């Protein structure tokens, strides 16, 4: 995050204050001074505005912790034409995201402490939100040789991932999870068996058959996840499934949690709000990994979020340009951008009555922050003053020409949303809207 300068106190008044970390949802205010939360809730109203404070009337809008997105791919270094840390941070701020956790899928791969330091320095100098890098689990993401997890963690990596590349060798994965355990490091893994998914580009089923596209069976995810969960039990390591999409996967996760394993899972906002039918006439912006599933699977994943089996919602932000997306569906790259639409798309689940607002916000704030050991994602006194202000009922339409990301591969182009971010604050500093 760019260097901070002293800011006068700010009182956000006439607010609906929601802090999932405290299960708090009340009318009140948020008082910020010197980059931290002084008070949030009715007590902030009682304290009043200190001398010289800026008072902002939110007119009943919601003030909540800034969102924490733990699955963001950024092109810097190596593919700055798709996304830089600066452009990703502007997109994040527009979506109410105040902390992004970056994937090691860059060029070069983030598998060296010097590269972790590079990301942190570039973020400090160019980004307007907090940036924390994940480092590679294996060197060059090849799935063969372990990275120096201890040194990478010491350099500032908050978790370890092999990006979009699953580690197929169970012996290597066991050693990684054992080694990571000794450093109390979180292993974040993409659960897809590449030998089983093969050349598949779409969810296996009638839809793929009708389109004449090679498909990926659900078992490619389930088998890899079940293996990982057994290794988590064997090693006692901390494990997080990057993004699940299948009913059987959440059932396996629920059993592992019931057995006391230190395991969690995320899901992309795309798999909560879209299904395979949205692909329509071979629309490549809907080509993702894992692939979009059936409507029945989507609804099952929403239910798993609502009951707490799934812990974290991510944007799965993966910028691609015309050179990688303007191809026949089977040849196009996977991935979609999502920073600017994460919250608004999530609010669809609230308006439909499938998920309550507290649960949705917890999965985007305190849950990922707690899993990563970060002090953000909450409005308690002394916490960093990272805040999103949004109107859950304000309608808007996503205009492609106004997207802040350098890439425009959104599956929500021209989509109608109800719920809009009005203001984002990082460390007590109001960011441009």
CATH code, domain carrying 25: 2.30.40.10
Same domain, 145 and 39: no
Cα–Cα distance list, 345 to 222, 340, 341, 415, 422 (Å): 26, 9, 6, 9, 15
Give the residues across from 263 on adjacent strands: 239
Same domain, 105 and 44: no
Structural contact between residues 134 and 141, judged by C-beta atoms closer than 8 angstroms: no
Same domain, 146 and 267: yes
Rounded distance between C-alpha atoms, residue 131 and residue 150, angstroms: 20
Same domain, 360 and 216: yes
Same domain, 396 and 334: no
Query: φ, ψ for residue 38 (rounded to 5)?
Result: -90, -45
Same domain, 184 and 110: yes
Domain boundary among 372, 402, 422: 372
Per residue in 54-78, pLDDT (tens digit) is: 999 999 999 999 999 999 999 999 9
Would 207 be classed as within a structural domain? yes
Name the domain count of the chain.
2
Antiparallel, parallel or unpaired: β 10-19 and 24-33: antiparallel
Enter the tokens of residue 246.
């299948």
Q: How much helix, strand and coil, in percent to the nearest 5, is found in the chain?
A: 35, 25, 40
CATH of the domain at 172: 3.20.20.140
Would 76 be classed as within a structural domain? yes
* Sign of the CA dihedral running 368, 234, 191, 79: positive
pLDDT range class, residue 6, cuts 50, 70, 90: low
Would 377 be classed as within a structural domain? no
pLDDT, mean of residues 27-35: 97
Would 4 be classed as within a structural domain? no
Rounded distance between C-alpha atoms, residue 208 and residue 197, angstroms: 14
Same domain, 36 and 85: no
Rounded distance between C-alpha atoms, residue 108 and residue 135, angstroms: 12
Same domain, 419 and 288: no
Give the residues across from 418 on adjacent strands: 395
26: helix, coil or strand?
Answer: strand
Same domain, 389 and 276: no
Is the predicted pLDDT of residue 289 greater than 90, yes or no?
A: yes
Same domain, 362 and 401: no
Would 272 be classed as within a structural domain? yes
Range of the structural domain that residue 156 is part of: 66-372
Interhelix angle for 247-258 vs 295-306, to 10°? 20
Is the predicted pLDDT of residue 151 greater than 90, yes or no?
A: yes
pLDDT range class, residue 46, cuts 50, 70, 90: confident
Same domain, 84 and 58: no
pLDDT, mean of residues 392-415: 97
Would 5 be classed as within a structural domain? no
Interhelix angle for 247-258 vs 219-235, to 10°? 10
What pTM was estimated for this model as a whole?
Answer: 0.97
The pLDDT, as a whole number, for residue 1 is: 61
Would 113 be classed as within a structural domain? yes
Same domain, 293 and 398: no
Would 380 be classed as within a structural domain? no
Is the predicted pLDDT of residue 47 greater than 90, yes or no?
A: no
């Amino acid at each position: 995050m760019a260097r901070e300068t002293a800011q006068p106190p700010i009182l956000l008044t006439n607010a609906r204050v929601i802090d999932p970390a405290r299960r708090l949802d009340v009318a009140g205010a948020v008082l910020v001074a010197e980059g931290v939360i002084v008070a949030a809730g009715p007590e902030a109203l009682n304290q009043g505005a200190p001398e010289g404070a800026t008072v902002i009337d939110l007119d009943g809008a919601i003030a909540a912790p800034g969102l924490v997105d733990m699955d963001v791919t950024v092109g810097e270094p190596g593919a700055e034409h798709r996304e830089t840390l600066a452009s990703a941070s502007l997109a994040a701020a527009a979506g109410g995201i105040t902390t992004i956790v970056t994937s090691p899928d860059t060029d070069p791969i983030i598998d060296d402490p010097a590269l972790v330091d590079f990301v942190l320095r570039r973020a400090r100098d160019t980004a307007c939100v907090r940036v924390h890098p994940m480092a590679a689990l294996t060197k060059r993401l090849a799935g063969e040789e372990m990275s120096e997890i201890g040194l990478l963690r010491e350099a500032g990596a908050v978790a370890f991932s092999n990006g979009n590349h699953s580690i197929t060798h169970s012996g290597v994965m066991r050693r990684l999870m054992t080694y990571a355990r000794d450093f109390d490091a979180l292993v974040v893994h993409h659960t897809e068996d590449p030998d089983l998914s093969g050349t598949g580009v779409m969810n296996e089923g009638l839809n793929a058959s009708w389109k004449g596209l090679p498909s990926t069976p659900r078992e490619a995810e389930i088998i890899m996840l079940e293996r990982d969960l057994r290794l988590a039990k064997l090693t006692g390591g901390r494990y997080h499934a990057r993004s699940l999409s299948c009913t059987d996967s959440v059932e396996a996760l629920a059993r592992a949690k019931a057995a006391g394993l230190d395991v969690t899972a995320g899901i992309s906002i795309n798999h909560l709000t879209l299904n395979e039918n949205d692909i329509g006439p071979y629309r490549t912006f809907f080509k993702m990994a894992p692939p979009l599933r059936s409507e029945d699977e989507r609804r099952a994943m929403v239910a798993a979020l609502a009951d707490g089996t799934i812990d974290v919602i991510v944007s799965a932000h993966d910028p691609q340009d015309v050179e990688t997306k303007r191809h026949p569906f089977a040849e196009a790259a996977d991935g979609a951008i999502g920073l600017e639409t994460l919250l608004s798309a999530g609010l669809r689940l609230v308006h439909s009555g499938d998920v309550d607002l507290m649960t949705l916000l917890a999965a985007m704030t305190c849950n990922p922050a707690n899993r990563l050991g970060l002090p953000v994602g909450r409005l308690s006194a002394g916490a960093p003053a990272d805040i999103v202000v949004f109107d859950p009922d304000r309608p808007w339409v996503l205009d492609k020409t106004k997207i802040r990301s350098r890439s425009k591969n959104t599956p929500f182009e021209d989509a109608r949303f109800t719920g809009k971010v009005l203001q984002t604050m990082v460390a007590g500093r109001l960011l441009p809207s």
